[in-house]
Amino acid sequence: MGNPLRTAQDRRLPRIPEPCALVIFGVTGDLSRKKLIPAVYDLANRGLLPPGFVVLGFARRDWGDGDFESLAYEAAKKGARTPWREDVWQRLASQFQFVPGSFDDDAAFDHLASTLDDLRERNGIAGNAAFYFSIPPAAFPLVLNQLNRTGMADNAKSGGWRRVVVEKPFGNDLQTAMALNQLVDEVFTPQDVFRIDHYLGKETVQNILALRFANNLFEPVWNSKYVDSVQITMAEDVGIGTRAAFYDASGAARDVLQNHLLQLLALVGMEEPTSFDPNEVRAEKLKVLKAISIPKDIAEGSVRGQYLPGWVAGERAVGYLEEKNIPADSTTETYVAVRLGIQNRRWAEVPFFVRVGKRMPRRVTEIAILFKKAPHLPFNPADIEMLGNNQLVIRVQPDEGVVLKFGSKVPGTTMEVRDIAMDFQYGEAFTESSPEAYERLVLDVLVGDRTLFPDAAEVEQSWRVIDPLEAAWAGTKPEPYRSGEWGPRASDEMLAREGRAWRRA
Amino acid sequence: MIGLWDTTGNEVVKALAAERRSAGGVASGLALTLVAVVEEKHVREAEAAATIAASAHPCRLLIVVRSDLDGRSRLDAEIVVGGRLGPAEAVVMRMYGRLALHAESVVMPLLAPDVPVVTWWHSEPPDVIANDFLGVVADRRITDCKLSPDPVGALKQRANDYAPGDTDLTWTRITLWRTLVAGAFDTTEERVTGATIVAPMTDPTAALMKGWLQSRLGIEPVWEHTDRSPRMHSVELKCANGDCVRVTRDEGTALFSRTGQEDRYMPLPKRAVGDELAEELRRLDADQIYSEALGAMAGIAHLDQRPPMRVHVWKDPALAARAGEAAGAFAGPGGSAA
């Protein structure tokens, strides 16, 4: 019959998960400290966690309970976005438990299972638990087998729901991704698997759907009749940081193109879903991913780059090959630009230029829709020299917002037209209270809303786009570019060959 | 910042345009106009609250201070764009004399075109909103019965005077309570058979809580009066199977107890007025659940079927004032505006 105190009209009441436990594997790791624990604190502070909520931290090191608590305290205090309230933390921390053990330690997992059983009654969590894998992918099979052995992943046996959250990388290519998906889906049921692509937790990314499908203004021109090309950019000003081993083995394409950028492309290119039901949205995204075409001549239609020493934002930056733990002859790319297409009626012949890079002049992620020029311009050609393509730019980060660029008359006695930008900013100022991506996603996992999580089919389809590119790149050397530049010259030339140019993001 | 003394409405409009131009790069997205009707002694408080609310909702903020109705008609204004009042563009207007009765003549040209208008009284709510043109022109009206000498009586008057689009911050103040109580019934199918609210007799939030439970559950909750706590102390619900769920306030936390389970503490902070206002601005359509709770509390049915538009009814408070009641509070010509 449902809860009589809740109705759809009562939109003040937030969604609150059922009483449950969050089990974090690798709780002492980077991700857990920087994102997860602060997100849990923020959720608690906003009053979005149910009574009886428990966090079980599992990690290899020999931590005492006190050590773990102080680690969690530091992490939460440093990363929290909501104001710090000691009493909220104290109550939350009293529901933190640390379970030490290595992943091949049967006794530790038995202990974890019995702890969860205890909590069922004592905290009234009714067997509900989410397992968060904040661990290297190599450890996945071990942990999954342990969960399988102890029956912790079994919905029926536990009497509640058991969910699993996995972070990227979702494999290293199609084959490993499929093996991983198979393994996870075998232990858990497929609808209980949540793959986190934190880009989808961002407010602006969700706003792409609102912009496209809540308005009548944009959809009629959202096709090859009006759109000249689409540019999707994700630039970072930082280098590879401390991720040398992982990064050198994967490179920019596997690291972010496969997941974040193809997801952005799918959201921009997809047809209207019949409803916002998770399955419907995923079905439309999958259709776009399946329709992606890669350049016929990959050498011609893609550029890989690797950063050289240089200056970024007033500081000297070392080159990729000089980074710690990177082999001096590495051919891993830190920049990639590729010309993709979408093979359907809406997007036929419209190129999607996608680029990602490290050590770019600034950090920016944006999607630019470049429209075709007006079919006829009744102006003196000299007057419209400064008139470019109309553009609609969705800025994902930073300064979330939307820019519309169009031609306007220069004030004065002559008819001179030039581009101006109309800028809508959510701006930092207006999104202070909007939740951080991880906060939103952790809550969605606990509530069981799968809309913002890509499913196995999407992940595998994305690898089908990346794998042929990687195969063609094998044995080639990336083009060098200076740190603090917008990528290698070859990338500009790639667009120049067809009379286009990158938008300065 | 521009300060204008003894000025006219037209000058204010021009100054706002000039200030927007010179500030440059002003947030071009504007979701609404917020009109705050404030008494002089509450101006700082209202400004602080509106600043918090404006940082969550891009808006044009118009603060109207009416005082000294018997004096000479006069308008002072202060225009701030992206300054001390947060990211919003704000105009603080002080109106004296007969002009104060026609505040709309200054406010109307300042409303941002074609976006919703929200009027918020940070003062004793007007008896009849139709008497205040600033309420008639608004799509959403927010009152605060706590500022009335008789809060529960004022809330009943809100029900008498209700039109869809009205809300009271009393309602906002129990959102966290309602969240806790509602959450307790997500995992059970048990029918609720009775409820007890422990609160002081003058607590309007308890009155609304009672109305809400009554309208949602079809039960007649008991209001147990207490002097122990200045605000609502606890809400207890009994289920058909004898189980019991109780939420008790304890400073900034709530003690959540349920038969057969360990007691839990949940956050139940007292929020700043600005946060409450921000919650109100999140929805600009009529709040049906509120109208049902308010109706149940006051014993008036079908509040939500009233017409949402009010017609202005002219009433001259100066006549009543001259008839013997206390005159409007005197306030000096806003010296701090410099």
- Please say which residue of A167, A192, A208 terminates a domain: A167
A22-59 exposure pattern, b = at least 16 Cβ within 10 A, e = fewer = bbbbbbbeebbbebbbbbbbbbbbbbbbbbbbbbbbbb
Task: Supply the angle between the helices B204-217 and B288-298 in degrees, to the nearest 10.
Answer: 100
pLDDT at A222: 96
- Cross-chain residue pair B192–A4, CB shorter than 8 Å: yes
CB A435 within 8 A of CB A42: yes
CB B9 within 8 A of CB B75: yes
CA dist A290 → A67, A278, B77 (Å): 48, 18, 60
Please report whether residue A88 resides in a domain. Answer: yes
pLDDT at B323: 62
Q: Indicate which CATH number applies to the domain containing A80.
A: 3.40.50.720
CB contacts, 8 Å: B217 with chain A? 4-5
Please report whether residue A62 resides in a domain. Answer: yes
Query: pLDDT category, B322, cuts 50, 70, 90?
Result: low
Better pLDDT: A430 or A164: A164
pLDDT at B261: 79
Both tokens of B153, joined, read 């009586």
Indicate whether A131 and A216 sit together in one domain.
Answer: no
- Cross-chain residue pair B264–A13, CB shorter than 8 Å: no
* The pLDDT of residue B271 is above 50: yes
Calculate mean pLDDT across residues A94-106. Answer: 86
pLDDT at A433: 56
Amino acid at B68: D
CA A99 to CA A131: how far, in whole Å?
13
pTM: 0.84
* The pLDDT of residue B325 is above 80: no
Indicate whether A239 and A336 sit together in one domain.
Answer: yes
Is A376 among the residues known to form the active site?
no
pLDDT in tens, B123-176: 998 999 999 999 999 999 999 999 999 999 999 999 999 999 999 999 999 999
Please report whether residue A192 resides in a domain. Answer: no
Indicate whether A351 and A447 sit together in one domain.
Answer: yes
Task: Supply the angle between the helices A140-150 and A174-187 in degrees, to the nearest 10.
Answer: 20
pLDDT at A213: 94
pLDDT at A434: 61
CB A183 within 8 A of CB A209: no
A9 touches chain B (CB under 8 A): yes
Indicate whether A231 and A349 sit together in one domain.
Answer: yes
CA dist B10 → A16, B105, B108, B117 (Å): 50, 10, 11, 20
Indicate whether A326 and A372 sit together in one domain.
Answer: yes
Provide the percentage of residues in chain B whose pLDDT is more than 70.
Answer: 92
Please report whether residue A190 resides in a domain. Answer: no
Calculate mean pLDDT across residues A101-107. Answer: 87
Indicate whether A222 and A280 sit together in one domain.
Answer: yes
Residues 6+ apart with CB under 8 A from B314: B131
Within 10 angstroms of residue B160's Cβ, the number of other Cβ atoms is 11
A229 membership: H or E segment, kind and range: strand A227-235
How many domains is chain A partitioned into structurally?
2
Query: pLDDT category, B321, cuts 50, 70, 90?
Result: low
Tell me the three state secondary structure of residue A454. coil
Indicate whether A43 and A154 sit together in one domain.
Answer: yes
Among the listed residues A336, A282, A325, A350, the one whose alpha carbon sits nearest the alpha carbon of residue A479: A336
Q: How many Å lie between the alpha carbon of B179 and the closest alpha carbon of chain A?
A: 6
Q: Looking at residue A382, what DSSP letter applies?
A: G
B261 touches chain A (CB under 8 A): yes
Q: Tell how strand B74-81 and strand B2-4 pair up.
A: antiparallel
pLDDT in tens, A447-473: 998 889 999 999 999 999 999 999 999
A8 touches chain B (CB under 8 A): no
CA dist B119 → A42, A287, A345, B35, B104 (Å): 31, 47, 49, 5, 12
pLDDT at A429: 44
The phi, psi pair for A158, rounded to 5°, reads -85, -20
CA dihedral A345, A351, A356, A360 (to 10 degrees): -140
The phi, psi pair for A354, rounded to 5°, reads -120, 130
Among the listed residues B246, B292, B313, B318, the one whose alpha carbon sits nearest the alpha carbon of residue B98: B318
CA A5 to CA A366: how far, in whole Å?
42
B186 touches chain A (CB under 8 A): yes
CA A235 to CA A355: how far, in whole Å?
8
Provide the percentage of residues in chain A whose pLDDT is more than 70.
Answer: 97
CB contacts, 8 Å: A427 with chain B? 27, 87
What share of residues in chain A are helix, strand, coil (percent, to 5)? 40, 20, 40
Indicate whether A373 and A482 sit together in one domain.
Answer: yes
Please report whether residue A289 resides in a domain. Answer: yes
pLDDT at A355: 96
CA B238 to CA B206: how far, in whole Å?
18
* The pLDDT of residue A385 is above 60: yes
Q: Name the β-bridge partners of A402.
A: A394, A424
Calculate mean pLDDT across residues A157-171. Answer: 86
Both tokens of A300, joined, read 């011609």
Within 10 angstroms of residue A398's Cβ, the number of other Cβ atoms is 12
Distance of CA B201 to the CA centre of its chain: 21
* The pLDDT of residue B336 is above 50: no
Distance of CA A492 to the CA centre of its chain: 26
Indicate whether A157 and A230 sit together in one domain.
Answer: no
Complex prediction ipTM: 0.75
pLDDT at B329: 42
* The pLDDT of residue A80 is above 60: yes
Q: How many Å lie between the alpha carbon of A90 and the closest alpha carbon of chain B?
A: 10
CA B245 to CA B225: how far, in whole Å?
19
pLDDT at B320: 66
Better pLDDT: A293 or A97: A293
Report the 3 state secondary structure along chain B: CEEECCCCHHHHHHHHHHHHHHHCCCCCCCCEEEEEEECHHHHHHHHHHHHHHHHHCCEEEEEEEEECCCCCCEEEEEEEECCCCCCCEEEEEEEEHHHHHHCHHHHHHHCCCCCCEEEEEECCCCCCHHHCHHHHCCCEEEECHHHCCCHHHHHHHHHHCCCCCEEEHHHHHCHHHHHHHHHCCCCCCCCEEEEEEEECCCCHHHHHHHHHHHHHHCCCCEEEECCCCCCCCEEEEEECCCCEEEEEEECCEEEEEECCCCCEEEECCCCCHHHHHHHHHHCCCCCHHHHHHHHHHHCCCCHHHCCCCCCCCCCCHHHHHHCCCCCCCCCCCCHHHC
Residues 6+ apart with CB under 8 A from B5: B76, B333
Indicate whether A477 and A367 sit together in one domain.
Answer: yes
Indicate whether A416 and A273 sit together in one domain.
Answer: yes
pLDDT at A46: 85
CB contacts, 8 Å: A126 with chain B? 187
CA dist A419 → A346, A371, A386, A413, A500 (Å): 27, 13, 7, 18, 17
* The pLDDT of residue A27 is above 50: yes
Report the 3 state secondary structure along B91-124: EEEEEEHHHHHHCHHHHHHHCCCCCCEEEEEECC
Q: Is A274 exposed, middle or buried (0-12, 13-18, 19+ CB in 10 A)?
A: exposed
Both tokens of B59, joined, read 């808006």
CB contacts, 8 Å: A47 with chain B? 176, 179-180, 266-268
Query: pLDDT category, A119, cuts 50, 70, 90?
Result: confident
Among the listed residues A396, A421, A395, A416, the one whose alpha carbon sits nearest the alpha carbon of residue A406: A421
> A58: domain range?
21-167
CB A23 within 8 A of CB A56: yes
CA dist A400 → A357, A407, A434 (Å): 20, 23, 12
B204 touches chain A (CB under 8 A): no
Better pLDDT: A342 or A81: A342
Interface of B with A in 264-303 (CB under 8 A): 264-269, 278-279, 283, 287-289
pLDDT in tens, A403-432: 899 998 888 888 888 888 888 776 544 545
Which of A165-169, A326-330, B63-67, B216-220 is predicted with the least confidence, judged by mean pLDDT? A165-169
Better pLDDT: B41 or A429: B41
- Please say which residue of A150, A167, A184 terminates a domain: A167
CB A356 within 8 A of CB A336: yes
pLDDT at B332: 39
* The pLDDT of residue B334 is above 80: no
Which of A342-346, B15-19, B51-55, B80-84 is predicted with the least confidence, judged by mean pLDDT? B80-84
Residues 6+ apart with CB under 8 A from B212: B174, B178, B289, B292, B293, B296
Nearest CA in chain A to B256: A51
Q: Where are the beta strands (DSSP E) in A241-314?
A: 292-293, 302-308, 310-312
Calculate mean pLDDT across residues A56-70. Answer: 77
CB contacts, 8 Å: B277 with chain A? none
* The pLDDT of residue B273 is above 90: yes
Q: What is the mean pLDDT of chain A?
A: 89
pLDDT in tens, A488-498: 999 999 999 99
A432 touches chain B (CB under 8 A): yes
Mutate to test the interface with B, among A1, A3, A5 (most CBs of B within 10 A): A5
Q: Looking at residue A386, what DSSP letter applies?
A: B
- Please say which residue of A167, A191, A214 terminates a domain: A167
Q: Indicate which CATH number applies to the domain containing A313.
A: 3.30.360.10
- Cross-chain residue pair B56–A10, CB shorter than 8 Å: no
CA A423 to CA A394: how far, in whole Å?
10
Q: Name the β-bridge partners of A133.
A: A25, A166
Please report whether residue A180 resides in a domain. Answer: no
pLDDT at B282: 86
- Cross-chain residue pair A9–B289, CB shorter than 8 Å: yes
pLDDT at B305: 92
Q: What is the mean pLDDT of chain B?
A: 87
pLDDT at B331: 39
Which of A14-23, A372-381, B309-318 is predicted with the least confidence, judged by mean pLDDT? B309-318
* The pLDDT of residue B330 is above 50: no
Nearest CA in chain B to A427: B27
Query: pLDDT category, A206, cuts 50, 70, 90?
Result: confident
Radius of gyration of the CA atoms of chain A, in A: 25
Please report whether residue A193 resides in a domain. Answer: no
